[in-house]
Structure 1
Amino acid sequence: MKKLIRRLARVSHYSPLSSSSQTRVPEGYLPVYVGDEMERFVVSADLLNHPVFINLLNKSAQEYGYQQKGVLRIPCHVLVFQRVLDALRLGQEGSCDLEYLLSQ
Structure 2
Amino acid sequence: MKKSQSRRGYVPILVGTGKEGMEKIWVTIKAIQHLTIVELLEKYANEHGYQNGLLKLTCDADKFKVILYNISKK
- What TM-score, normalized to structure 2? 0.81
2:60 to 61, 77, 80: 77
1:82-97 pair list within 5 angstroms: 82-91=65-74
Q: Larger helix proportion, structure 1 or 2?
A: 1
**Unaligned regions of 5+ residues in structure 1, if any?**
1-20, 92-104
Q: Is the 1:25–1:42 Cα contact (8 Å) retained in structure 2?
A: no
Q: Larger strand proportion, structure 1 or 2?
A: 2
Whole-Å Cα distance in 2 between the matches of residues 89 and 49 of structure 1?
12
List structure 1 segments (4+ residues) > 6 angstroms apart after TM superposition: none
Q: Which residue of 2 aligns with 1:18?
A: none
- What TM-score, normalized to structure 1? 0.60
**RMSD of Structure 2 on Structure 1 (CA):** 1.6
* Rg larger for: 1
Give the Å deviation of 1:33.
Answer: 0.4
Aligned-pair identity in percent equals 31
